[in-house]
């Protein structure tokens, strides 16, 4: 009934009804950039070339078995074009190909009729891969190759599992590991640790407390079909889509519209006591540090002061023997100016940046103050968490 209900939904959907038959056959895949297409193609070229070359050097060219089996081409598509897919992870490829080869060789040896042996090999290989959590679509071709690959493969028996299947699989995974990481694609696709790394707590960051991983897993279980994306990857995509949707709903609201222009700033040459008093008396968490020409150099915050033990409660320097010995052991002079304690690498935004782009860094990364700079890196405004919260409230209430 579940399937019938889905068909009924599709049939009554006006948009689906307007689609031509050919349009319905076309997969709904969002096109990637030309750079990513070139990266994936180059990766597959290098992967297959090196796998074949190393296999020939390791096994010799006089062996009867093929040095490179055809299913490696399908594995290369997943490894280099879809490296985040659960079907492309190392265990999926190594485990899936080896298990499929074992099943295929066994069926070929026990079942004399090739068609029956091939059918059994495919069915049993899929069942085994699902039970062992190593589903890999090209492994189905490995099972078929073990049965229908010809006399040399049949005569090799279980040696076919090791060479070339296991050797090819290990080599192409190694190439994918190197190539993907060198070209900016994390592989294996490790699941990020849950919780809030900023505060070392188990709660998810504020912007990720809507749909959870558990919700994703439950939805996939209810869907009851193999999904080529992990729950973590689906959650990340949903989070990006929510940010985009908010930016669309908030219209043209940019940093220029909500930033404060009457700013308190400090020079890097300013002494620490002055900067400390500005923070405390004005009840600020951070101050932008600018040059004489107004360019942003960094931020000095209460956390920067707290991180230097040479400062007393009033922001003055501790001149005692203990502090001097500590500084001498660490071969560091005591900080004296703002430039000695400030944070130089800070995030900033342009005036035309949509405010939706500030939600994740200011909510999840603990950024209390976002400097707004022009294209010459001159400070033109600041946005605090309070500014952003007020703007979000007004945009939701239509104020």
pLDDT tens digits for range 82-110: 998 889 999 999 999 999 999 999 999 99
Q: What percent of the chain has pLDDT over 90?
A: 43
Q: Which residues pair with 201 in a beta bridge?
A: 196
Residue 219 in any domain: the answer is yes
Q: What is the predicted pLDDT for the residue at 398?
A: 56
pTM exceeds 0.85, yes or no: no
d(CA 361, CA 207): 10
Q: Binning pLDDT at 50, 70 and 90, where does residue 330 land?
A: low
Q: Which of 48-52, 206-210, 298-302, 315-319 is the least confident region?
A: 315-319
Boundary residue ending a domain (249, 267, 301): 249
The mean pLDDT of the chain is 81
Residue 195 in any domain: the answer is no
Q: What is the predicted pLDDT for the residue at 14?
A: 59
Give the SS3 label for residue 371: strand
Task: Please give the average per-residue pLDDT across 243-254, as a whole number.
Answer: 70
Domain region containing 219:
206-249
The domain that holds 320 is classified in CATH as 3.10.580.10
DSSP letters for 279-308: HHHTT-SEEEEE-TT-BEEEEEEHHHHHT-
Task: Please give the average per-residue pLDDT across 341-363, as a whole number.
Answer: 87
Which range among 60-69, 304-313, 350-359 has the greatest average pLDDT?
350-359
Task: Please give the average per-residue pLDDT across 189-205, as a whole number.
Answer: 56
For residue 68, give the nearest of 149, 155, 179 by alpha carbon. Answer: 149
Q: What is the predicted pLDDT for the residue at 55?
A: 83
Q: What is the predicted pLDDT for the residue at 26?
A: 72
Do 151 and 39 sit in the same domain of this protein?
yes
Q: What is the predicted pLDDT for the residue at 58?
A: 73
Do 111 and 37 sit in the same domain of this protein?
yes
Do 226 and 282 sit in the same domain of this protein?
no
Domains identified in the chain, total number: 3
Do 217 and 304 sit in the same domain of this protein?
no
**Does residue 60 have a pLDDT over 80?**
no
The burial of 271, by beta-carbon neighbours within 10 Å (0-12 exposed, 13-18 middle, 19 or more buried), is given as middle
More confident residue, 14 or 213: 213
Q: Binning pLDDT at 50, 70 and 90, where does residue 9 land?
A: very low
């Amino acid at each position: 009934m579940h399937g019938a209900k889905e068909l009924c939904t599709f049939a009554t959907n006006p948009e689906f009804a307007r689609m031509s038959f050919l349009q319905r056959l076309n997969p709904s895949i969002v096109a990637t950039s030309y750079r990513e297409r070139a990266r994936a193609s180059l990766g597959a070229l290098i992967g297959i070339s090196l796998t074949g070359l190393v296999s020939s050097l390791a096994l010799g060219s006089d062996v009867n078995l093929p040095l490179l089996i055809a299913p490696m081409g399908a594995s290369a598509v997943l490894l280099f074009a879809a490296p985040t897919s659960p079907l492309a992870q190392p265990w999926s490829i190594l485990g899936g190909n080896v298990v499929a080869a074992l099943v295929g060789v066994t069926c070929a040896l026990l079942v004399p009729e090739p068609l029956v042996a091939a059918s059994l090999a495919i069915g049993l290989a899929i069942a085994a891969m699902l039970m062992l959590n190593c589903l890999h679509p090209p492994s189905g071709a490995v099972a078929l190759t073990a049965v229908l690959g010809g006399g040399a493969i049949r005569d090799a028996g279980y040696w076919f599992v090791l060479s070339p299947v296991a050797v090819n699989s290990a080599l192409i995974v190694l190439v994918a590991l190197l190539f993907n990481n060198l070209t900016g694609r994390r592989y294996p696709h490790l699941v990020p640790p849950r919780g809030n790394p900023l505060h070392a707590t188990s709660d998810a960051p504020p912007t990720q407390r809507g749909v959870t991983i558990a919700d994703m897993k439950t939805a996939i279980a209810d869907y009851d079909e193999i999904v080529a994306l992990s729950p973590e990857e689906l959650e990340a995509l949903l989070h990006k889509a929510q940010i985009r949707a908010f930016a669309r709903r908030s219209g043209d609201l940019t940093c220029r519209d909500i930033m404060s222009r009457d700013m308190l700033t400090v020079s890097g040459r300013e002494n620490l006591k002055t900067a400390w008093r500005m923070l405390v008396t004005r009840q600020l968490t951070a101050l932008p540090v600018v040059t004489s020409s107004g360019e942003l150099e960094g931020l000095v915050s209460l956390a920067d002061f707290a991180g230097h033990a040479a400062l007393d409660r009033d922001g003055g320097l501790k001149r005692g023997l203990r502090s001097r010995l500590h500084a001498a052991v660490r071969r560091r002079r005591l900080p004296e100016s703002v430039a000695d304690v400030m944070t130089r690498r800070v995030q900033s935004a342009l005036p035309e940046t949509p405010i939706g782009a500030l939600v994740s860094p200011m909510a999840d990364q603990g950024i209390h103050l976002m400097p707004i700079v022009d294209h010459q890196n001159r400070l033109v405004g600041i946005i605090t968490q309070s500014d952003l919260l007020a703007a979000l409230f007004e945009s939701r209430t239509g104020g």
